[in-house]
Amino acid sequence: MRNVTRSPNSHRTPGSSGTSVSALQGEDLRNHRFDYLIVGAGFAGSVLAERLAAGSNKTILVVDRRPHIGGNAFDYYDDAGVLIHRYGPHIFHTNSQRIVDYLSRFTDWRPYEHRVLAQVDGQLLPIPINRDTLNNLYGLNMATEQEAADFLASRAEPVDDIQTSEDVVINQIGRELYEKFFRGYTRKQWGLDPSQLDKMVTARVPTRTNTDDRYFGDTFQQMPREGYTKMFERMLDHPNIKVLTDTDYREIRNEVNFGELVFTGPIDEYFDYRFGKLPYRSLQFKHESLEQEHFQPVAVVNYPAEDVPYTRISEYKHLTGQVHSRTSITYEYPSAEGDPYYPIPRPENAELYKRYQKLADETPGVTFLGRLGTYKYYNMDQVVGQALALYKRIEGAAHTQGERAGAEEARQVARQAQ
Ligand SMILES: Cc1cc2nc3c(=O)[nH]c(=O)nc-3n(C[C@H](O)[C@H](O)[C@H](O)COP(=O)(O)OP(=O)(O)OC[C@H]3O[C@@H](n4cnc5c(N)ncnc54)[C@H](O)[C@@H]3O)c2cc1C
């Protein structure tokens, strides 16, 4: 029998008094009944736990097998005292004021507009491609959007039936720019040629004729002022919420007395891979601390060349605004093995997910939520939105038809929000 211990965050912010997440110090799990068991302390699990506790006075046990809360958004101060993101740079951006208002209960914000450069032909060039990218790459002096549009049109190679990622990009900007900026990066990132990937993968990458070099176009682009982990600590700091880290759901599922289960881990794992594994792309992160104040001009530099083994390098001080005599960076190496990060967008994988989804529909008492529970690449704001939508349905339905019916309905919404 495992006791609930106070271990939501294995890394302490220097100078902070530690976490304030409530816990059942040394008490036996069997003495408690929880209305909900939530698996995963990332955005999906934490937002839902907060709402159920603060909004509906439910009791919740949140378990996470990692040694910390925050899921992939977890940040911490490394040995050099620099705030870094353990699972790669997480930039918060959204067009939803509702989601900003909700998260603002737990954090202040620091304005930050994300800019990315790509190392191409020995130069650092803005990505998404804009007029400056083209001018610098080709030694041109285009001054208007029309000139840049005409230039791109002259390069574009129209594809009649756009099916793959390669088709999308070649149709838009032609083969040369495709090869310089997209092909190598995509091959490294996915372990697949763009011609094998669904068109939606690169359809997300805009090409611009102006000189806007912001990576995202969202109305709200800011970072939690004290970091994500602090925000999660405040979110989970409620007497009705108990947090158990370093604990796999399977270790405690038979020991905990709970009503409903919300699972934000991998849906295929929950069902013991009954229909086979849902394919994911993983990443290996190499964190480095450097004896210098700055490393690169922006937070993220992409390396599309195939002879460079990593895809990008991130330097966190640009994101956090931290002033420090040292700096810390992270190299990202895509890999087939490791934690599940990116669902691989291919039709056969979507079909496989549908089989799990159907099984989930037929399984009472459990709701799947979040990027792993619903096998979708979601940004953080989308996962917050998904969790808030689920809560709204649970709450609404509880008022009318009773808890179980509400949870059933909530399951539908979680799927519709995908
Ligand atoms: C490299 C990278 C960069 C990203 N950058 C951005 C960005 O810049 N902006 C943005 O908006 N989004 C970004 N994202 C997406 C963002 O990480 C997700 O939207 C967010 O993490 C989803 O939250 P979640 O709660 O669904 O999942 P997660 O954060 O993955 O949380 C799920 C949790 O469940 C736990 N878990 C799983 N199975 C079990 C089990 N059996 N028992 C116990 N615990 C379990 C896991 O340990 C994990 O902590 C990025 C993702 C990656 C991979």
Q: How far is the CA of 42 from the centre of ligand 1 (A)?
A: 6
Which residue among 2, 90, 418 is best mutated to probe the pocket of ligand 1, counting the most ligand atoms within 8 A of its Cβ? 90
Helix (H) or strand (E) holding 366: strand 366-368
Residue 204's pLDDT is 56
Torsion sign over Cα 25, 31, 35, 39: positive
Q: How far is the CA of 326 from the centre of ligand 1 (A)?
A: 28
- Please give the DSSP secondary-structure letter assigned to residue 5: -
Q: How far is the CA of 187 from the centre of ligand 1 (A)?
A: 23
Mean of pLDDT over the chain: 89
Write down the residue that tokens 């405040």 correspond to.
234
CA 43 to ligand 1: nearest atom:
25
Q: Which residues line ligand 1 (CB under 6 A)?
A: 39-45, 63-66, 71-73, 87-91, 248-249, 264-265, 283, 341, 370-372, 378-381, 383
Q: How far apart are CA 233 and CA 242, in angstroms?
A: 12
Cβ atoms within 10 Å, residue 18: 11
Write down the residue that tokens 């999660």 correspond to.
232
Residue 46 · residue 237 · CB < 8 Å: no
Q: How far is the CA of 92 from the centre of ligand 1 (A)?
A: 13
| Radius of gyration for the chain, computed over Cα atoms and rounded to the nearest angstrom | 23
Cβ burial, residue 294 (10 Å; 0-12/13-18/19+): exposed
- Dihedrals φ, ψ of 70, to 5°? 100, -10
Residue 135 tokens read as: 């001018």
257-263 and 123-127 as β-strands: parallel, antiparallel, unpaired? unpaired
Peptide bond connecting 224 to the previous residue in cis, omega within 30 degrees of 0: no
Residue 203's pLDDT is 67
Residue 20's pLDDT is 32
Helix (H, G, I), strand (E, B) or coil at 263: strand
Tell the residue nearest (CA) to atom 26 of ligand 1: 370
Residue 35 · residue 215 · CB < 8 Å: no
Residue 376 · residue 418 · CB < 8 Å: yes
366-368 and 257-263 as β-strands: parallel, antiparallel, unpaired? parallel
Q: How far apart are CA 271 and CA 362, in angstroms?
A: 12
Q: How far apart are CA 95 and CA 24, in angstroms?
A: 38
Helix (H, G, I), strand (E, B) or coil at 380: helix
Q: How far apart are CA 57 and CA 267, in angstroms?
A: 28
CA 114 to ligand 1: nearest atom:
8
Residue 359 · residue 371 · CB < 8 Å: no
Q: What amino acid occupies position 5?
A: T
Residue 157 tokens read as: 């190679």
Alpha carbon distances (Å) from 326 to 11, 292, 293, 295, 314: 19, 5, 5, 9, 14
What DSSP string runs through 400-414? HT-HHHHHHHHHHHH
Instruction: Output the tens digit of pLDDT for each of the chain's 418 residues.
Output: 343 433 333 333 332 323 333 444 445 677 789 999 999 999 999 999 999 999 999 999 999 999 999 999 999 999 999 999 999 999 999 999 999 999 999 999 999 999 999 999 999 999 999 999 999 999 999 999 999 999 999 999 999 998 888 998 999 899 999 999 999 999 999 998 888 887 877 665 578 999 999 999 999 999 999 999 999 999 999 999 999 999 999 999 999 999 999 999 999 999 999 999 999 999 999 999 999 999 999 999 999 999 999 999 999 999 999 999 999 999 999 999 999 999 988 889 999 999 999 999 999 999 999 999 999 989 999 999 999 999 999 988 766 554 444 444 445 545 444 4
Which residue among 62, 72, 271 is best mutated to probe the pocket of ligand 1, counting the most ligand atoms within 8 A of its Cβ? 72
Residue 400's pLDDT is 59
Domains of the chain as residue ranges with CATH: 29-78+94-110+225-277+344-416 (3.40.50.720), 116-203 (no CATH)
Q: How far apart are CA 113 and CA 104, in angstroms?
A: 18
